[in-house]
């Protein structure tokens, strides 16, 4: 049995573990390093965090079984150059993450994909998209990102950024496209801010969920607005790619028990063609393990790539 070094790089943290070829995260190998706001202005913070977390994983007694590494990173990325340019990490634009992991780990074989791509890989391998030949898998959290499986294979695109659902423009009615993306209209922080601007007195997504549960009118409107933006984005994706299933994960997707149903209703109302309206919306199965399992799938499941 071979092991992969799996790395997940987000806007505020890096997580890494060893994952075997069944998709199991090896006990005792999972580590997390916070980068915080400092990494946004100083790339050295990010470089040191990579060194630190790889060193922690290398201390595991099964490190000698590792054959390669997979990285899922916030995008945009350039999988050919092995670099990243995360929107929320300006100092890291053009950072050579593949070379950094090679130096820290001593491994020659290091693969890079978008974090949403890795989540889609995980769900297609072991989760809610298993056995589905045409699916989009996405998260609604601090941001909105995703990945696409088409005809049974992952769609990476020319640079590795295919599936970026959050950056689809769905309501450019102000002339400001950047303010009209799925992410700007549907993500957790933006939805909270919209609710506050409309008279809601809470401060967090958790409080918004509680208000939604109690029937607060503004909270209900805010959640519905988020779901509708996601649904319009999915209707566009389903129309273009003839998708069967949309798998939704991410912390903010739990703001309401019926969040997937609200998304599905928005897909139906926004779809011009009947085949797009038939898109099923289901919850993700792998939760917080998906980014690491998906990064490991870059090593263990080349048949899906």
Query: Band of the pLDDT at 21, cuts 50, 70, 90?
Result: very high
Identify the domain containing residue 7 by its residue range.
3-114+289-304
- State how beta strands 135-140 and 245-249 pair: parallel
Q: Are residues 96 and 192 in the same domain?
A: no
Instruction: Label residue 97 exposed, middle or buried (CB < 10 Å: 0-12, 13-18, 19+).
Output: buried
Is residue 175 one of the residues assigned to a domain? yes
Least confident of 34-43, 58-67, 280-289: 34-43
pTM beyond 0.85:
yes
- Tell me the per-residue pLDDT of 225-261, one tens digit each, with 9 for 90 and over: 999 999 999 999 999 999 999 999 999 999 999 999 9
100 token code pair: 């950094």
Is residue 121 one of the residues assigned to a domain? no
pLDDT at residue 10 in the model: 86
Q: Are residues 166 and 86 in the same domain?
A: no
- Tell me the per-residue pLDDT of 67-122, one tens digit each, with 9 for 90 and over: 999 999 988 999 999 999 988 889 999 999 999 999 999 999 999 999 999 999 99
Query: Band of the pLDDT at 38, cuts 50, 70, 90?
Result: confident
Is residue 23 one of the residues assigned to a domain? yes
Q: Are residues 145 and 293 in the same domain?
A: no
Q: Are residues 205 and 181 in the same domain?
A: yes
Q: Are residues 26 and 136 in the same domain?
A: no
């Amino acid at each position: 049995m071979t092991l992969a070094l799996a790395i997940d790089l987000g806007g505020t943290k890096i997580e890494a573990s060893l994952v075997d070829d069944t998709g199991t995260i090896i006990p005792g190998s999972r580590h997390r390093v916070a980068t915080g706001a400092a990494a946004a202005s100083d790339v050295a913070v990010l470089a040191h965090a990579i060194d630190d977390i790889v060193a922690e994983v290398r201390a595991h007694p099964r490190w000698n079984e590792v054959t390669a590494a997979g990285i899922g990173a916030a995008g945009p990325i350039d999988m050919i150059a092995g670099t990243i340019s995360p929107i929320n990490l300006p100092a890291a634009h053009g950072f050579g993450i593949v070379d950094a992991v090679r130096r820290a780990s001593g491994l020659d074989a290091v693969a890079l994909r978008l974090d949403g791509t890795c989540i889609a890989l995980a769900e297609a391998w072991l989760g809610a998209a298993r056995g589905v030949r045409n699916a989009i898998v996405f998260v609604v959290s601090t941001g909105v990102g995703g990945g696409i499986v088409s005809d049974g294979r992952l769609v990476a695109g020319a640079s590795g950024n295919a599936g970026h659902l959050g950056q689809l423009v769905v309501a450019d009615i102000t002339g400001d496209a950047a303010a009209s993306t799925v992410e700007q209209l549907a993500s957790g922080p933006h939805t909270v801010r919209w609710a506050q601007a409309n008279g809601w007195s809470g401060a967090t997504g958790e409080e918004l969920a509680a208000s939604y549960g109690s029937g607060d009118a503004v909270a209900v409107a805010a959640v519905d607005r988020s779901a509708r933006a996601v649904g319009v984005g999915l209707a566009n994706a389903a129309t273009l790619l003839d998708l069967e299933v949309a798998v939704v994960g991410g912390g903010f997707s739990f703001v309401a028990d019926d969040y997937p149903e609200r998304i599905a209703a928005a897909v139906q109302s926004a779809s011009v063609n009947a085949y797009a309206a038939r898109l099923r919306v289901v919850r993700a199965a792998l939760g917080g393990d998906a980014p690491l399992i998906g990064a490991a799938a870059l090593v263990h499941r080349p048949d899906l790539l």
